[in-house]
Structure 1
Amino acid sequence: MKFTFSFQKVLDVKEKEQEIAKQEYGITKLRQLELAEEMEELEVVKENVFNQYNDVDCKTVKEILEFQQEIDHVSLRMKRLEDRSQQIHQEVEQKHQVLINKNQETKMWNQWKAKSMEAFQKQLDRSEQAMLDEMAVLRYSRRT
């Protein structure tokens, strides 16, 4: 006799949901890292623009205004990136919580499967032992 878990399809669905949650969390985490790199690059650009702005030697008013506009533009982009970073951070936290919940559900179903398998094995052992006992009684009764 072979063990079949009566809720195997449910367990399969839960494991699939867990895999999907892992993938979504990984994708979101990757986006967060890419955004952090983009912010670092923008920080370098901002620093370069500030350095050029601070070198006011022989610069015309037009050049200074252009640097000021570029600084404003970079600052605006950084503000937008920071807002996006906050949103992605919240999304990462949400996906992480979903992943934790899916892991717990899957673990619960796997434990239930293991307990069901153990109960099945005990029942199988009992029935096998009962059959062996009956065979032993039959052998003994035939000898006498």
Structure 2
Amino acid sequence: MDAMEITAIHAEGLATGHASFRAEPIGWKDFHDGHPLALVAEDRGIVVGWAALAPTSPRDTYAGVGEVSTYVGAQAVGRGLGRSLLSRLITDSEAQGWWTLVAQIFPENRASIALHRACGFDIVGTRARLGRMTHGPMTGQWRDVTMMERRSAVAGR
């Protein structure tokens, strides 16, 4: 099972202060139950990255709209794994009928914004001072969030 590696990679991202408002890394039950589509990248049998898709809302109106998360372990950064994972997540999500993918990214996380742009996401706006950090190096600071979106050319038509 990949649970420990997924949690450890998520913890690395959270420790930067630029990955999420979450204070604690995701546990296996929340990861498994909250993401109907998830992928991992492995190196010699060890998970070094993951990407997952969660529904944005339980309402029928938003069926097919999902929020993406992509995390790559520090030991694997710069090898193209993030792009491979996100590209595959897009392809697999379209095959399952997901028609809009969204990402919420701190503006300081330039690498994540560039990754999403490279995979066809557009910036739709910035939510100013959306939340205040409760952990890590940014504790107490109000944070903006860049909203990105990708509409499928094949699903939801």
Same fold (TM over 0.5): no
More strand by share: 2
Asked which structure has the greater CA Rg, the reply is: 1
- TM-score band, normalised by shorter chain: under 0.3
Give the TM-score of the pair, scaled to structure 2.
0.20
